[in-house]
């Protein structure tokens, strides 16, 4: 992003100060390197040297990032420990600094980042915890939408269902996880330091209803089906794919899933394809 | 005392406080006496769930004013127009009479440090910020009110004191001033100037409202932490500016270790008493 040309001295000052604040070098090393330039640019106070005055902003930068990420990832902090979380935040914002006016966007790369951060044996566990907490935060902030009611669903003629597409609520997040994070999340969020459990594939829906965020564990076939539906696959085709993946899937089970999903408010609307015009009719 | 009106004759909303999540339920259920609530704009610009629902309920009962932390009016990055459009939409939604932010920059090269970083007080910076304020006001279609920040450093290149910079900026860009009395006190300690000189020099007709807050004294410097009660020396400064304005809307900020609503409201009451003419030490 090029600076505005009308303020070149100001731009140089701002670039210097930002570099001082966000540089991932140790404080001692940075101050050794920048002491002379700080004394050229910043007045000392009665009690502080020039470089100490800029360092106040530097100290607050990481505290602020830590506070913002901690509010979204309390379970992740429990899993890596207090000091570990500070290191994680410092490493993370060095690679993915905030580029948005809102802290809500700061969390968006953390799952990807955790795939390569820390000891290898912990990475999938930490990434799964972060994925769930990220979904919780995103669902909390998601835009509002309507909710498909049981009555609206019942009003759709049976013949229209195979071609109908269900529109998921914008707060819906579907997660395929390698660890049973949902089982231990409350303990982690209460501050318990738990070691990674044995890997076990689990599936989870996270969504908001009535301004509260909910977690709904899913079976694998239910996860596949609701994922297809949330991507706009017509219901008939989605059901055929689910049946092909699990031939034992009974219609009564499918029916109970749909009832539950509609009751939970996972779907915002049902979109029916436009009725075909008969040959020979004209649009008025 | 007859108030000297602000230039735009914006309403005197009385005494207010910062709207914080821990107080939502108290406000909605008890409906306490409060002239207005100030929100941090960025906390609601993308909110779709509970925060927005609470805001709508509270905005139905009290005037709301918007106070931002990410406009970055002093930055040399291009003006963030999508941000301003969202800000305007939120302002329209809650019918804010004005929108405020800080005389600061928050980042360059596309970054946001989410801090209120100081602007060198130079002729170049004055021209730069004034030009951007005009752009912002055109987009927001309401007065932009800029707050004097609390600063922890001064640049060697600065060519004028902050009060002169603000006075000239208000005139040049035709914007308003949110005079944070605690920030004057904090910066005065950190830089070693006389806070009364500052208050006597700011243009009264540009002052739209005031902030009051507590802070944290670190010995070598003061941090503007918005925690704890407003101290008496800050209240005395508030009285001094009140003597010039005759009264402006005033709100109390409390952002760290936020106590029960009534504790913050008691701070608001202190300021309310001062507006009525009580001495600062007895407030």
Given a cut of 70, the residues of chain B with pLDDT beneath it are 1-2, 278-283
A275, pLDDT greater than 80: no
DSSP B105: B
Name the residue among A6, A15, A21 with its Cβ closest to that of B113.
A21
Q: Which of B76, B115, B153 faces A4 most closely, judged by CB atoms?
A: B76
ipTM of the complex: 0.95
Question: Whats the size of chain A, residue-wise?
Answer: 284
Residue closest to B209 by CA, chosen among B247, B249, B237: B249
Q: What is the pTM of this model?
A: 0.92
Note whether B46 contacts A102, CB cutoff 8 Å.
Answer: yes
* DSSP-assigned letter for residue B157: T
The residue ranges of DSSP E strands in chain A, in sequence order, are: 165-168, 173-177, 202-209, 212-218, 267-271
Of all residues in chain B, the one with the smallest CA distance to A21 is B113
pLDDT in tens, B179-230: 999 999 999 999 999 999 999 999 999 999 999 999 999 999 999 999 999 9
- B73 DSSP assignment: T
Instruction: Check pLDDT > 50 for residue A160.
Output: yes
A50 in Cβ contact with A38 (< 8 Å): yes
d(CA A212, CA B211): 33
How many CB atoms lie under 10 A from the CB of residue A81?
12
Query: CA of B267: how far to CAs of A121, A143, B34, B63, B281, in Å?
Result: 52, 36, 12, 19, 13
Torsion of CA A102, B67, B60, B45, to 10 degrees: -20
Cβ-based neighbour number of residue A113 at 10 Å:
17
**How close B215 comes to chain A (CA, Å)?**
15
| Mean of the per-residue pLDDT values of chain A | 93
Query: What backbone phi and psi angles, to 5 degrees, belong to B75?
Result: -70, 155
Chain A residues in contact with B49 (beta carbon < 8 A): 139-142, 144, 171, 208, 211, 213
Tell me the chain A residues in contact with residue B109 when contact means C-beta distances shorter than 8 Å. Answer: 1, 15, 18
* Residue A74 Cα, gap to closest chain B Cα (Å): 18
CB contact (8 A) between residue B153 and residue A6: no
Superfamily of domain B15-275: Divalent-metal-dependent TIM barrel enzymes (3.20.20.150)
pLDDT value of residue B278: 63
> What SS3 state is found at A206?
strand
Mutate which: A3, A10, A97, vs B, most B CBs within 10 A: A10
User: Cβ of B113 and A61 within 8 Å?
Assistant: yes
For residue A283, what pLDDT band results from cuts at 50, 70 and 90?
very low
Distance of residue B74 Cα from the nearest chain A Cα, in angstroms: 9
């Amino acid at each position: 992003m090029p600076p505005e040309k009308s303020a070149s001295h100001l731009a140089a000052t701002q670039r210097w100060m930002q570099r001082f604040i966000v540089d991932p070098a140790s404080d001692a090393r940075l101050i050794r390197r920048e002491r002379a330039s700080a004394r050229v640019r910043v007045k000392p106070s009665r009690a502080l040297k020039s470089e100490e005055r800029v360092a106040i902003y530097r100290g607050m930068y990481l505290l602020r990032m830590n506070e913002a990420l901690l509010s979204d990832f309390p379970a992740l902090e429990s899993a890596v420990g207090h000091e570990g979380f500070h290191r994680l935040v410092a490493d993370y914002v060095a690679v993915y600094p905030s580029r948005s006016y809102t802290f809500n966007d700061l969390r968006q790369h953390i799952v990807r980042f955790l795939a390569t951060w820390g000891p290898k044996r912990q990475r999938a566990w930490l990434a799964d915890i972060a994925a769930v907490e990220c979904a919780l935060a995103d669902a909390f902030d998601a835009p509002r939408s309507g909710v498909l009611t049981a009555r609206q669903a019942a009003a759709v003629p049976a013949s229209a269902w195979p071609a109908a597409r269900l529109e998921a609520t914008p707060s819906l997040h579907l997660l395929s996880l390698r660890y049973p994070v949902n089982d231990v999340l409350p303990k982690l969020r209460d501050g318990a330091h738990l070691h990674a459990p044995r890997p076990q594939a689990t599936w989870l829906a996270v969504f908001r209803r009535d301004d509260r965020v909910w977690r709904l564990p899913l079976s694998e076939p239910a996860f596949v089906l609701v994922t297809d539906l949330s991507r706009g696959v017509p219901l008939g085709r989605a059901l055929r794919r689910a049946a092909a993946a699990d031939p034992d899937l009974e219609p009564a089970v499918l029916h109970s899933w749909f009832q539950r999903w509609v009751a939970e408010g996972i779907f915002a609307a049902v979109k029916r394809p436009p009725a075909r015009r008969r040959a020979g009719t004209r649009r008025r | 005392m007859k108030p000297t009106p602000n230039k735009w004759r914006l309403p005197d909303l009385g005494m207010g406080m910062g709207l914080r999540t821990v107080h939502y339920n108290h406000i909605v259920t008890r409906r306490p006496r409060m002239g207005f609530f100030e929100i941090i704009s960025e906390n609601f610009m993308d909110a779709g769930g509970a925060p927005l629902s609470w805001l709508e309920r509270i905005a139905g009962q009290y005037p709301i004013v918007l106070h931002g932390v990410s406009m970055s009016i002093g930055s040399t990055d291009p003006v963030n127009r999508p941000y301003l459009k969202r800000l305007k939409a939120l302002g329209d939604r809650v019918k804010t009479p004005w929108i405020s932010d800080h005389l600061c920059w928050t980042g360059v090269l596309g970054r946001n440090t989410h801090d209120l970083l100081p602007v060198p007080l130079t002729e170049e910076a004055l021209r730069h910020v004034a030009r951007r304020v005009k752009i912002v006001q055109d987009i927001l279609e309401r007065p932009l009110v800029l707050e004097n920040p609390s600063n922890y450093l001064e640049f060697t290149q600065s060519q004028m004191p902050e009060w002169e910079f603000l006075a000239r900026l208000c005139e040049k860009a035709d914007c308003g001033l949110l005079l944070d009395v605690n920030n004057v006190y904090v910066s005065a300690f950190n830089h070693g100037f006389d806070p009364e000189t500052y208050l006597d020099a700011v243009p009264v007709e540009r002052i739209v409202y005031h902030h009051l807050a507590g802070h944290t004294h670190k010995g070598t410097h003061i941090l503007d932490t918005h925690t704890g009660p407003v101290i008496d020396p800050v209240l005395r400064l508030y009285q001094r500016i009140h003597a010039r304005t005759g009264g402006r809307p005033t709100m109390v900020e409390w952002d760290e270790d936020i106590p029960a609503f009534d504790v913050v409201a008691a701070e608001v009451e202190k300021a309310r008493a001062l507006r009525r003419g009580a001495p600062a030490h007895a407030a």
